[in-house]
Amino acid sequence: MTAILLKLPEELLLKSGKSATVLNLSRAEYIRRAIDRMNRLVEAHRKSKRLAEVSLRIRAESLRINAEFDALESTPEI
């Protein structure tokens, strides 16, 4: 495991220590879990954004295909 030097505002350090104590964790473990949770949230947000972008592209393609079918269905049969 790699060590880092981390500077935190005093209030954040105190709250982290109190929260870690409530959860029966070391402050270091509490901070590791907080970073891990934030990483997962960022990744979920990134995936959600990517899904929305792809969904918009698929929607546009679906509308185009539906318009083609509508045109075919409205064409009189010979």
Q: How far apart are CA 66 and CA 78, in angstroms?
A: 22
**pLDDT of 78 higher than 70:** no
- The reported pTM is 0.68
**pLDDT tens digits, 9-61:** 999 999 999 999 999 999 999 999 999 999 999 999 999 999 998 888 888 78
Residues of 10-25 as b/e, b for ≥16 C-beta within 10 angstroms?
eeeeeebeeebeeeee
Q: How far apart are CA 17 and CA 25, in angstroms?
A: 9
